[in-house]
Structure 1
């Protein structure tokens, strides 16, 4: 069954899996997406703190 990433919690779960498997960059990107989809600023900050590192996003 394919995974869905409809909720921030889905992205956080995937980020944890990536971190556990030695993929910190992908974990950080997933955490950033989860934080973007989280309406509570404090919760978004906490999510990013759980997955430290610099952002690799390319913003305009």
Structure 2
């Protein structure tokens, strides 16, 4: 069954799956997306703290 991404929790769940699968970069990117979609700054900070690392996003 395909994964759907409708809420920040969906992104966090996918990030945890990627971390468990040994894909920390993808996990961090998914966590950053979850944090961006989370309205509460303290909750967003907790999400990012669970998946440490620097951002690899290419904004431009």
TM-score band w.r.t. shorter chain: over 0.9
**TM-score where L is the length of structure 2:** 0.95
Superposed CA RMSD: 0.7
Length-normalised TM-score, structure 1: 0.95
- Distance in 1 (CA, whole Å) between partners of 2:14 and 2:44 is 16
Whether 1:40 aligns to 2:40 is yes
Which residue matches 2:10? 10
Report how many aligned residue pairs link the two structures: 60
